[in-house]
Structure 1
Amino acid sequence: MSWIDKGVLILAVVLLVVGTLGKGLDTRDQGGMTADVPRVGPFTNQTEVPVWESGDFWAYRVGISYQDTGTRADLELEGLHVEVTAVNGAAYTLAFNGDVAGSVLIAGIVEGTLQDTVMEGTMVVRAEDLAVEEVTHMHIEGSIKRQLVTNGFRADLSLRQNVTPAVAPYDFPIAVGETWSVPRMTLWLYLHAQVDLAVPYTVTYDFPVYLEEHVLTCPGLEALATSVGTYGDAYRITGAGSRYDLWYSPTARNSIAVDYEGVRMWYNESLYWDLHTLEAVLLDTSYPPVNQPPAPPTRPIPANNSVNVSLRPQLQWTGSDPDGDPLTYDLFLGPDFSPPLAAENLTSPLYEPALLDADTTYYWRVVARDDHGHAASGPLWSFRTAAGDNRPPETPVRPSGPASGTVNTAYTYTSSCVDPDGDAVLYRFDWGDGSTGDWLGPLASGATVNASHSWSAVGAYVIRVQARDEHGLVSDWSEPLPVSMPKSLVGVTARCGVPLL
Structure 2
Amino acid sequence: MNSQWRRVIYFLLLVVTVGCQNQPPSVPILWGPQRGRPNDTLVFSMISLDKEGDSIAYLIEINQESLFGWSQWFPPGIEVNQQLSFNDTGSYILRVKARDSQHESGWSDEYQVWIRLYLPSVPRKPSGPDSAVVGVPVTFYTSGLHPLDELVSFQFWWGDTTGDWSGFVMPGTVVRDSHTFNSAGTFEVRCRAKDKEGCVSGWSAPETIFIYNAQSH
**Shorter-chain-normalised TM-score: which range?**
0.5 to 0.7
Q: 2:74 aligns with which of 101, 106, 121?
A: 101
Q: How many angstroms apart in 1 are the aligned matches of 2:198 and 2:156?
A: 17
Q: Distance in 2 between matches of 1:387 and 1:343?
A: 26
1:368 is displaced (CA, Å) by: 0.9
State the shift of 1:101 in Å: 1.2
Q: CA deviation at 1:290?
A: 1.3
The match for 1:64 is 48
User: Alignment partner of 2:178: what SS?
Assistant: coil
One-letter code of the match for 1:371?
K
Given that 1:62 and 1:280 are in contact with CA atoms closer than 8 Å, whether structure 2 keeps it comes out as no
Structure 2 residue 23 is matched with structure 1 residue 6 = no
**Conservation of the 8 A alpha-carbon contact between 2:154 and 2:166:** yes
Q: Shift in Å at residue 312 of structure 1? A: 2.8
Q: Which of 177, 189, 192 is 1:352 aligned to?
A: 177
- The normalised TM-score by structure 1 is 0.27
Name the residue aligned to 2:192.
367
CA offsets 1:372-397 (integer angstroms, 9 cap, x no match):
332112234321246549xxxxxxxx
1:296 aligns with 2:94: no
Cα 1:76–1:361 change in 2 (3 A) is farther
Within the alignment, does 1:383 sit opposite 2:204 as a pair? no
Task: Give yes or no for the alignment of 1:343 onto 2:164.
Answer: yes
- Deviation per CA, 1:465-497: give whole Å up to 9, x if none: xxxxxxxxxxxxxxxxxxxxxxxxxxxxxxxxx
CA distance in 2, matches of 1:384, 1:319: 25
For residues 320 and 375 of structure 1, the distance between their equivalents in structure 2, rounded to whole angstroms, comes to 12
1:318 is the counterpart of 2:143: yes
Decide whether aligned partners of structure 1 residues 351 and 280 sit closer, same or farther in structure 2, where only a CA change above 3 A counts. same
Q: Secondary structure at the match of 1:301?
A: coil
The amino acid across from 2:168 in the alignment is: T
Give me the whole-angstrom Cα distance separating, in 1, the residues matched to 2:140 and 2:118.
Answer: 26
After superposition, the Cα gap between the structure-2 partners of 1:380 and 1:299, relative to the gap in structure 1 and judged at 3 Å, is closer
For 1:301, the aligned partner's letter is S
CA separation in 2, counterparts of 1:93 and 1:358? 64
Q: Compute the displacement of 1:103 (Å).
A: 5.1
Give CA deviations for 1:66-85 in whole Å, capped at 9, x if unaligned.
44xxxx337665x634368x
Gaps of 5+ in 1: 23-58, 85-91, 105-225, 230-249, 259-274, 390-501
In the TM superposition, residue 62 of structure 1 has moved relative to its aligned partner by: 2.2
Aligned CA RMSD, in angstroms, stands at 4.6
Distance apart, 1:289 and its partner CA: 1.7
Could you say which structure has the higher helix fraction?
2
**How many angstroms does 1:314 deviate by?**
2.0
Task: Spell out, residue by residue over 1:151-193, the C-alpha distance to the aligned partner (whole angstroms, 9 max, x if none).
Answer: xxxxxxxxxxxxxxxxxxxxxxxxxxxxxxxxxxxxxxxxxxx
- Taking CA–CA contacts closer than 8 Å with sequence separation of 6 or more, which of the two structures ends up with the larger relative contact order? 2
- CA-CA distance at 1:342 after TM superposition: 2.0
What letter is aligned with 1:99?
Q
> Does the aligned pair in 2 maintain the 1:64–1:75 contact within 8 Å?
no
Q: Give, in whole Å, the separation in 2 of the partners of 1:377 and 1:93.
A: 38
Alpha-carbon distance between aligned partners in 2 of 1:326 and 1:227, rounded to the nearest angstrom:
22
Q: Secondary structure at the match of 2:75?
A: strand
On the 8 A contact 2:121/2:144 being kept in 1, the answer is yes
Distance (Å, rounded) in 1 between the aligned partners of 2:45 and 2:117:
22
For residues 180 and 66 of structure 2, what CA distance do their matches in structure 1 show?
67
Deviation at 1:352, TM superposition (A): 3.3
Instruction: Give 1:474's aligned residue.
Output: none
Question: Of Structure 1 and Structure 2, which has the larger fraction of its residues in strand?
Answer: 1
Secondary structure of 1:6's match? helix
Structure 2 residue aligned with 1:134: none
- Equivalent position amino acid for 2:74 in 1: A
Query: Structure 1 residues 291 and 341 mapped into 2: Cα distance closer, same or farther (>3 Å)?
Result: same
Note the C-alpha offset of 1:357: 4.3
Tell me the TM-score normalised to structure 2 length. Answer: 0.54
- Call closer, same or farther: CA 1:75–1:387 in 2, change over 3 Å: farther
Deviating above 6 A after TM superposition, structure 1's stretches of 4 or more consecutive aligned residues are 278-282
CA distance in structure 2 between the aligned counterparts of 1:388 and 1:299, rounded to whole angstroms: 27
